[in-house]
Amino acid sequence: MTPLTRATVAAAGALVAALGLLTATPASAAPRPAFPGDWLHLTVSQGETIAPGSRRALLLCDPPRGTAHAREACAQLAAVGGDIDRIPPKDVFCTMLYAPVTAHASGIWHGHRVEYTRTFSNRCVLSARTGSVFALDA
């Protein structure tokens, strides 16, 4: 290799390294939210696990849309700061029939990550404990 060629190779390597530094993003950079505002991806599955064929919906709350009961669900979530466990249970009587249903929610509420998964003994108990959040039927 001639001195000119070595210098060219060294310069090219330095340029590639510099470009790599310019295009690198900091490791602590927060990912951009998938949707603006508050949102939850909701899944309801018959049984004790989330299974293929589950009912799914995207609940958007700015403005409320995505499910038939979006307005009520967003109002209930707003009242508890997005914490589904803090939704006051409805005063209803549910049968003791064991037909498990699993509810899962993941998303963003006021900039904070929401992850929720619970199995309820039946749909009545699910509705009584989570209000309109998982009411995915019209």
Closest CA to 110 of 79, 82, 80: 82
Question: Tens digit of pLDDT per residue, the chain (138 long)?
Answer: 445 444 444 444 444 444 444 444 444 444 555 677 899 999 999 999 988 889 999 999 999 999 999 999 999 999 999 999 999 999 999 999 999 999 999 999 999 999 999 999 999 999 999 999 999 975
**pTM (2 decimals)?**
0.72
d(Cα 30, Cα 116) in Å, to the nearest integer? Answer: 21
Query: In angstroms, rounded to a whole number, what is the distance separating the alpha carbons of residues 135 and 127?
Result: 7
Nearest to 112 by CA among 67, 73, 86, 82: 82
User: Rounded to an integer, what distance in angstroms lies between the CA atom of residue 98 and that of residue 38?
Assistant: 33
Domains of the chain: 39-130 (3.30.350.10)
**Amino acid 52: pLDDT:** 85
Give me the pLDDT at residue 1, please: 46
**Centroid of chain to Cα 109:** 9
> 80: which residues sit within 8 A by CB, 6+ positions away?
86, 87
Q: Looking at the DSSP assignment, which residues form a beta bridge with residue 43?
A: 56, 104
